[in-house]
């Protein structure tokens, strides 16, 4: 018989940490609201949700690594908003956060979810922070629950 693992969209009993950057807080606060709302509507209690604010997207990885390596969380959700400006800074910030979160997933068993917007314009970010294109924070929280459940079943 085929053995199949499918993640349930339930928070389970574990805690979820959300690392959120203050840079572009107008956007990231909306992502945070979406993530918390999603976890709560799937049954998570306030006590299961821990929020860690960091200055910018470049700092997300360091906090996320500390949380993921602690083994205390069912999943770590990373939220940020990188928006292209007039310089190449955007490219370096994107590279750092993408590579960093990928490396955490490679190094630790705790699912660490990429909920960082990388947008050309402020309008694109607004569209993904609770308007036309949904809420990327909510999507990340859903992914975190599914992956926590999948990893739990594999273990």
Site for ligand INI in 87-116 (CB under 6 A): 89-90, 93
Contact call for residue 59 and ligand INI (CB under 6 A) = yes
- Minimum CB distance to ligand INI smaller for 36 or for 63: 63
Q: Is 56 helix (H, G, I), strand (E, B) or coil?
A: coil
With CB under 6 A as the contact rule, the residue among 52, 58, 150, 151 that binds ligand INI is 58
The residue with tokens 């992502």 is: 31
Please report how close the Cβ of residue 133 comes to ligand INI at its closest, in angstroms: 18
Q: How far, in Å, CA of 67 to CA of 41, rounded?
A: 24
Structure token pair of residue 141: 């929280």
The answer to whether the beta carbons of residues 34 and 16 sit under 8 Å apart is no
Contact call for residue 83 and ligand INI (CB under 6 A) = yes
- Minimum CB distance to ligand INI smaller for 64 or for 74: 64
- Could you say which of 89, 91, 109, 133 is catalytic? 89
Q: How far, in Å, CA of 12 to CA of 3, rounded?
A: 22
Contact call for residue 55 and ligand INI (CB under 6 A) = yes
Our answer to whether residue 89 is catalytic in this structure is: yes
37 by Cβ neighbours in 10 Å (0-12 / 13-18 / 19+) ranks as: middle
Binding site for ligand INI (CB under 6 A): 21, 23-24, 55-59, 80-83, 85, 89-90, 93
């Amino acid at each position: 018989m085929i053995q199949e693992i499918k993640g349930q969209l339930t928070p389970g009993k574990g805690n979820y940490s959300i690392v959120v950057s203050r840079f572009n807080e107008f956007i990231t606060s909306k992502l945070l609201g979406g993530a918390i709302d999603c976890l709560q509507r799937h049954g998570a209690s306030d006590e299961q949700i821990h929020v860690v604010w960091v200055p910018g997207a470049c700092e997300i990885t360091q906090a996320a690594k500390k949380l993921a390596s602690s083994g205390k969380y069912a999943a770590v959700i990373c939220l940020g908003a990188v928006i292209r400006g007039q310089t190449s800074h955007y490219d370096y910030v994107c590279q750092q956060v993408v590579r960093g979160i990928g490396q955490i997933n490679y190094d630790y068993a705790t699912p660490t979810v990429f909920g960082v917007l990388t947008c050309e314009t402020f309008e694109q970010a607004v569209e993904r922070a609770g308007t036309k294109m949904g809420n990327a924070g909510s999507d990340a929280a859903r992914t975190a629950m599914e992956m926590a459940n999948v990893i739990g079943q594999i273990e």
